[in-house]
Amino acid sequence: MKKNISSKNKVTKNQSKATTKAISTPKNIKQACPKSWSLSVYIYWFIILFFIAATFYILGRSHSSFVTQTPTQNVEITEEALLQTSDYYESGKAKLIEGNITDAITDLTTAIDAGNASIDTYILRGEAYMQAGNYRNALEDFNTAIEKDSLNAIAYYDRALLNIRLEDYSMALNDINNALAAQASNPNTILQLRDLYAKRGQLNLWLKNWEGAIADYTNSLARPEGIVNPSVYAERAEAYTALNNYSDAINDYSSAIRVISEQIQGATTSEERESLSSQAMSYFEKSAALNLALGNPQAAKTDLDSAYTIAIALNDTSSIERIQNLLTDLQ
């Protein structure tokens, strides 16, 4: 009986151990799970870090390729290369004013080649070409400007100046007429009617349209804007002379001399004063000739005396000798 109980107890104890061992299995599982979970996390973060590193590597390669591309292509980055298209126009304009014609053409060409260039850009480059003596390219630029804007008075005026250089006075006159029409319908503050009428008067003078020249010079002198050019009076005097209207011609020479005397007072350089004085001397001589034609020798002598005084002041030996001879002939 005791043995059976003992056996039973032994069995019970063994079962208890087995139960205990069975119960301890979940504990082992719990200990194993954190290790497995931690390993998964490490793998997960490793994958993320790998993709981040790969992304920065690719971006770095692209940036390096972009940076090293310029030396490979031997492209020199200069200040001019960084200019915007509008800046090329302003740069070309400034250089043209300075008299740097070649560089002005280069900058304005760059602005035009960039596309969507303004009409003023073509006009300005045309002016530069004209100053450089490249009349063909100048004409093309003025034509382009007029094609883009048929009411651009400056483009017509500049093309008229070009045709004058080409001695095509009829075409120049046509352009001035178009410039006057454009200015009437689409006024431009840069261009003045005084100058347009004076230029048309000059063309009519060269074309021997004396009445037309006088009318244009008169319109020019009547304009309130701008500064009166003494040559406008002098050229109108030539037209009056061609029509044998000597009295009006003499009056115009007197007006031209009066304007010159006013301008000499404001002249800032000796060269400018000498140029104006030389003009006045020439007008005195022409007035003297007209006074002689009208039978006024005393008035002619007065004009020649004034011309002689200017010649001495200028130390113009050839003019001094010529005027002395004229004065001798009057006596």
Instruction: Give the pLDDT score at 226.
Output: 81
As to burial, measured by CB atoms within 10 angstroms (0-12 exposed, 13-18 middle, 19+ buried), residue 229 is middle
Give yes or no for a contact between 213 and 240, defined as CB atoms under 8 angstroms apart: no
Q: Mean per-residue pLDDT for 298-314?
A: 97
Cα(176)–Cα(130) distance, integer angstroms: 17
Give yes or no for a contact between 97 and 89, defined as CB atoms under 8 angstroms apart: no
Q: 48-71 burial, b if ≥16 CB within 10 A, otherwise e?
A: eeeeeeeeeeeeeeeeeeeeeeee
In the predicted model, is pLDDT for residue 296 greater than 80? yes
In the predicted model, is pLDDT for residue 14 greater than 90? no
Residue pLDDT, tens place only, 24-48: 444 444 444 444 445 455 555 555 5
Closest among 186, 223, 224 to 201, alpha carbons compared: 223
Q: Which two tokens stand for residue 179?
A: 């410039």
Closest among 220, 152, 217 to 186, alpha carbons compared: 152
Closest among 138, 148, 62 to 104, alpha carbons compared: 138
Tell me the DSSP string of 172-238. Answer: HHHHHHHHHHHHHHS--TTS-HHHHHHHHHHHHHHTT-HHHHHHHHHHHHH--SS---HHHHHHHHH
Residue linked to tokens 């630029």: 141
In the predicted model, is pLDDT for residue 18 greater than 50? no
Which DSSP state fits 331? Answer: -
- Would the CA dihedral through 71, 74, 80, 83 be positive or negative? negative
Q: Residue 205 corresponds to which amino acid?
A: L
In 10 A of CB 122, how many CB atoms? 25
In the predicted model, is pLDDT for residue 297 greater than 80? yes
Residue pLDDT, tens place only, 112-163: 998 888 999 999 999 999 999 999 999 999 999 999 999 999 999 999 999 9
Residue pLDDT, tens place only, 203-223: 999 999 999 999 999 999 999
In the predicted model, is pLDDT for residue 311 greater than 60? yes
In the predicted model, is pLDDT for residue 56 greater than 60? no
Instruction: Give the pLDDT score at 69.
Output: 41
When computed from its CA atoms, the radius of gyration of the chain, rounded to whole angstroms, is 47
Position with higher pLDDT, 8 vs 280: 280
**Residue 50 binned pLDDT confidence (cut-offs 50, 70, 90):** low
**Residue 294 binned pLDDT confidence (cut-offs 50, 70, 90):** very high
